[in-house]
A and B are shown apart, each in its own frame.
Chain A
Amino acid sequence: MSAKKSHKFYGHGIPRVKPEDLGGKLIVVEGADGSGRSTQIVELVNWLETSGRPTVQVGLKRSTLVSEELEKAQHGNVLSRTTLSLFYATDFADQLGNIIIPALKAGFIVLADRYIYTLMARDLVRGMDEKWLKNLYGIAPVPDAVFYLSVEPEELVQRNLSKNATLDYWESGMDLGLSREVFDSFLKYQGAMGEAFRQLQKTYKFEIVDANRSVSAVNKELRKKISAVLEE
């Protein structure tokens, strides 16, 4: 792979890791449940691996360290805001230290199914301090590309219901008390999340991809943009 080494961290980074040792490529796909994120990632992994590029995947709530505990805590809805936020940050940091960093050092392509932006957007919507979040996630390497799959809340509702026949408690922001009815809450919450992403976009400069379109149309656009990144 022609990838030149060197990445940057958003902030302080992590101890004993030099950003100049990080090669490979870090590519992030963001978007709500129902934005087609996971489908796109499966397609992208197929495409990358068949073209001979070593690829690893990471995502939220997948760490060895805390994923089980996080799942359990969310189920009982017992954690307060800062606690949940730090718990997610721990989950991210575990995958960062044990998967992302070693993979980048080895020159792999890391495909992240969501990254710090979802975590930050969720917390911003819940009134957490942006400065605090920026400091916390200063441990994250700056990706080579970030794609935000943008879908209108009305379309997200349709996709989620046709897939699961129900709306997820957290993806509907039911903990916020926006509405007693999950349908209304979902629309309001996803609207607010879209707003938070647009706010973050100003700082973090990710590309907004119109994902109201078909899977193949979106995938075509992603491949084109990723190809350009890989050639850098």
Chain B
Amino acid sequence: MKTFAEMNFPGRLIAVEGLDGSGKSTQIYLLKRWLEAEGIKVYFSEWNSSELVKSATSKGKKRELLTPTTFSLIHATDFADRYERHLVPLLRAGYIVLCDRYVFTAFARDVTRGCPPDWVRGNYSFACAPDLTMFFKADLEVSLNRILEGRPKLKFFEAGMDLRLSTDPYESFKIFQGRILEQYMAMSKEFNFVVMDANENVEKQQVLVRKLVSEKIDLKKFKRRSPLPLPPSLAGDHLEKEESEDKAA
């Protein structure tokens, strides 16, 4: 699996991975805010968010229609749609693309559900590897508590209830997440995960994230040549305009 840099894409892709409740979404959101403020061409893409596939996925989940195979394929379809329509053109155009979850989520989850690893990896083999993958590793108990405190009603597939690990959704969720974590750790080396201590406080983690990103990627190459058009409310304001151009320069 080659990275986008190795495939000579002008853009770069940064992915975050981790269990639900590891705080990875907060970290990538803060990273995005920073890059935007630096005037960098940045795009954010989230797992399971393609408009086209969404209604099928939610129908499948609601009616508990999904088998491990269809669960895997419908997420692959979702990923392919975002990959072909957004990620590839943006990376060709020199964007920094931030992904909240990437193919490794499928590698970990689908295999935990019993799909053969080679089959899952083969299906995603059209995708290049991220240029940087940060894995947010929190103690299992910490992740579980974050999720279970905030959102006490667990959804069927989220809790891995389809695996019949336990009739209690909370118990099932715990076992399921533990197994996913094992899968992640087993592929960590192979895919060059940078393992982040997600038990650390949010601000400290973000400092490290920004440091890693600027070491790995020569950010000034990704600045917009022309500033973004101003929102209409500011368009007439000469001072504001000058200021924003200064920042971009």
Seen from chain A, the residues whose Cβ lies within 8 Å of a Cβ on chain B are: 11-12, 14-16, 64-66, 68-69, 72-73, 78-83, 85-87, 89-90, 93-94, 96-98, 132, 135-136, 138-139
Contacts and interface: CB of A to CB of B under 8 A. Distances in A.
Given A93-B73, A97-B70, 11 more contacts: A12-B119, A16-B114, A65-B56, A68-B56, A69-B56, A83-B77, A86-B73, A86-B80, A94-B67, A96-B69, A139-B119
B212 interface: no
Given A73-B52, A82-B84, A16 B65 contact: no
Contact of A90 (B73, B113, B115): B73
Contacts of B59: 65
26 contacts: A15-B113, A15-B115, A16-B114, A64-B65, A65-B60, A66-B56, A66-B74, A68-B55, A69-B53, A69-B55, A69-B56, A78-B52, A80-B80, A82-B80, A82-B84, A83-B80, A86-B123, A87-B53, A93-B70, A93-B73, A94-B67, A97-B69, A132-B122, A135-B125, A136-B119, A139-B69
Interface residues of B, number: 31
A132 B53 CA distance: 21
A94 B65 contact: yes
B74 A65 contact: yes
Contacts of B76: 86
A89 B73 contact: yes
Contacts of B66: 65
A94 B68 contact: no
B133 to A, nearest CB: 21
Contacts of A14: 67-69
Contacts of A138: 119
Contacts of B65: 64-65, 94, 98
A93 B61 CA distance: 15
B118 interface: yes
- Counting from the closest, the 9 A-B pairs by CB-CB distance are A15-B114, A80-B84, A135-B122, A12-B116, A86-B77, A97-B67, A90-B73, A83-B80, A83-B81
Contacts of B80: 80, 82-83, 85-86
A80 B123 contact: no
Contacts of A64: 65
B70 A94 contact: yes
B61 to A, nearest CB: 10
A167 to B, nearest CB: 26
B69 A83 contact: no
Contacts of B84: 80-83
A172 to B, nearest CB: 23
Contacts of B157: none
A141 B55 CA distance: 28
Given A15-B115, A138-B119, A69 B52 contact: yes
Contacts of A93: 67, 69-70, 73
A178 B219 CA distance: 43
B68 A136 contact: no
B97 to A, nearest CB: 17
Contact of B52 (A11, A15, A79, A135): A79
A82 B70 contact: no
A96 B200 CA distance: 46
Contacts of A94: 65, 67, 70
A35 to B, nearest CB: 28
B119 A65 contact: no
Interface string B75-86: 011001101110
Interface string B148-163: 0000000000000000
B242 to A, nearest CB: 41
A90 B74 contact: yes
Nearest to A82: B80
A90 B119 CA distance: 14
Nearest to B84: A80
